[in-house]
């Protein structure tokens, strides 16, 4: 994942990302004082929530922009710059936690990431996470696919959205035992009159690399947004059709 983030806009307008992550934390049943790695910690909001639970927390993220915000807001937490598919820790931790990260890693990179997590955990350590699951933003990506086609472009899906069965197999192959798994719809409200347009511009970046001009890009986004008005503009508010996969596994 090589995305340059507008870290301030992400923090201000898309706070729901980490707010939903608070309930994922509840799956952790480690003792107070246990060591936790927040993998893909972003702006550090959930690392702080973990610290407030009494855990000893480190955060790791590939975005220097988001890490800059995290370090400024939460100076008592150690934040590391690193790639979730290629990292090592100086000593293993009791828990690896992650929210809204793994769908950014393509299918080929998942095993590398899972092996890094396995290596980072103590034996019987907990791996607790949530990310986009099968069917996530299906309406949005469908509208973008059709809009791209109208302009003569092919829309390449930039995310990985597995089923529970598919991901459980990957976990077991890497040496994990699955203890909890759920796949669920979560229609998610977006901020402002241009909420869906802003969401696309923030999170859907790599497919637009084939689009020749900024004007065409803007037209494609507008066309996709308008096509989704009947489905995702509800009572004067834009929504994103999220589907999440939430799991807890233990390192064998």
CATH number (domain holding residue 59):
3.40.50.150
- DSSP of 167-195: HHHHHHHHTEEEEEEEEEEEEEE-SSTTH
> Rounded to whole angstroms, how far apart are CA atoms 167 and 71?
32
Considering the domain boundaries, does residue 154 fall inside one?
no
Q: Which of 142-173 are b and which e, b meaning 16 or more Cβ less than 10 Å from the residue's Cβ?
A: bbbbebbeeeebebeebbbbbebeebbeebee
User: What share of the chain has pLDDT > 70, as a percent?
Assistant: 92
Which H or E element spans position 231?
helix 229-232
Q: How many Å apart are CA 71 and CA 106, to the nearest integer?
A: 28
* Cβ atoms within 10 Å, residue 99: 27
Fill in the DSSP letter of residue 12. Answer: H
pLDDT at 9 > cutoff 50: no
**Are 6 and 63 within 8 A, CB to CB?**
no
Which residue blocks in 6-137 are alpha helix, DSSP H?
Answer: 7-13, 16-25, 45-52, 64-73, 107-120
Phi, psi for 231 (deg, rounded to 5): -95, -35
The reply to whether 180 falls in a domain is yes
Question: What average pLDDT does this structure show over 169-189?
Answer: 96
Residue 179 domain-assigned (yes or no)? yes
| Domain contains 95 | yes
Q: How many domains is the chain built from?
A: 1
pLDDT at 249 over 80: yes
Please report how the helices 138-150 and 214-227 are oriented relative to each other, as an axis angle in degrees rounded to 10: 130
Closest Cα to residue 19, out of 41, 54, 49? 49
Q: Which of 5-14, 95-104, 226-235 has the lowest mean pLDDT?
A: 5-14
In a domain, 235, yes or no: no
The pLDDT-based confidence of 6 (bands split at 50, 70, 90) is very low
Cβ-Cβ contacts under 8 Å for 172 (sequence gap 6 or more): 178
Phi, psi of 85, deg, nearest 5? -95, 0
pLDDT digits (tens, 9 = 90+) for 65-104: 999 999 999 999 999 999 999 999 999 999 999 999 999 9
Q: Are 155 and 127 in contact (CB under 8 A)?
A: no
Task: Flag whether 90 is in a domain.
Answer: yes
Asked if pLDDT for residue 242 goes beyond 60, the answer is yes
The reported pLDDT for the residue numbered 22 is 86
Radius of gyration of the chain (CA): 18
13 lies in a domain? yes
Task: Tell me the C-alpha to C-alpha distance, in Å, between residue 200 and each of 191, 203, 204.
Answer: 13, 5, 5
Q: What mean pLDDT do residues 172-201 have?
A: 95
Nearest partner of 58 among 66, 46, 69, judged by Cα: 46
What's the pLDDT tens digit per position in 10-57?
445 444 445 666 899 999 999 999 999 999 999 999 999 999 999 999
User: What pLDDT sits at residue 3?
Assistant: 47
Domain that holds residue 125: 7-136+159-192+242-251
Q: Is residue 227 part of a domain?
A: no
């Amino acid at each position: 994942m090589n995305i340059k983030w507008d870290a301030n806009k992400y923090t201000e307008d898309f706070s729901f990302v980490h707010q939903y992550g608070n309930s994922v934390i509840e799956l952790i049943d480690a003792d107070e004082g246990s060591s936790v790695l927040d993998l893909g910690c972003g702006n550090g909001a959930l690392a702080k929530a973990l610290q407030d639970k009494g855990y000893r927390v480190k955060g790791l993220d590939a975005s220097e922009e988001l890490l800059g915000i995290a370090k400024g807001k939460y100076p008592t937490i150690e934040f590391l710059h690193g790639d979730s598919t290629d990292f090592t820790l100086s000593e293993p931790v009791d828990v690896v936690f992650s929210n809204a990260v793994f769908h950014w890693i393509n299918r080929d990179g998942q095993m590398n990431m899972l092996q890094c997590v396995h290596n980072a955990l103590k034996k019987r350590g907990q791996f607790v996470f949530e990310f986009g699951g099968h069917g996530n933003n299906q309406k949005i990506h469908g509208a973008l696919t059709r809009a791209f086609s109208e302009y003569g472009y092919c829309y390449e899906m930039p995310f990985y959205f597995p089923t529970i069965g598919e991901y459980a197999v990957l976990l077991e192959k890497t040496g994990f035992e699955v203890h909890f798994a759920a796949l669920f719809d979560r229609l998610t409200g977006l901020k402002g009159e241009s909420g869906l347009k802003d969401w696309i511009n923030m999170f859907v970046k790599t497919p637009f690399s084939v689009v020749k001009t900024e004007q065409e890009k803007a037209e494609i986004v507008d066309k996709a947004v308008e096509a989704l008005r009947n489905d995702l503009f509800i009572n004067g508010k834009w929504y994103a059709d999220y589907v999440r996969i939430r799991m807890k596994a233990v390192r064998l």
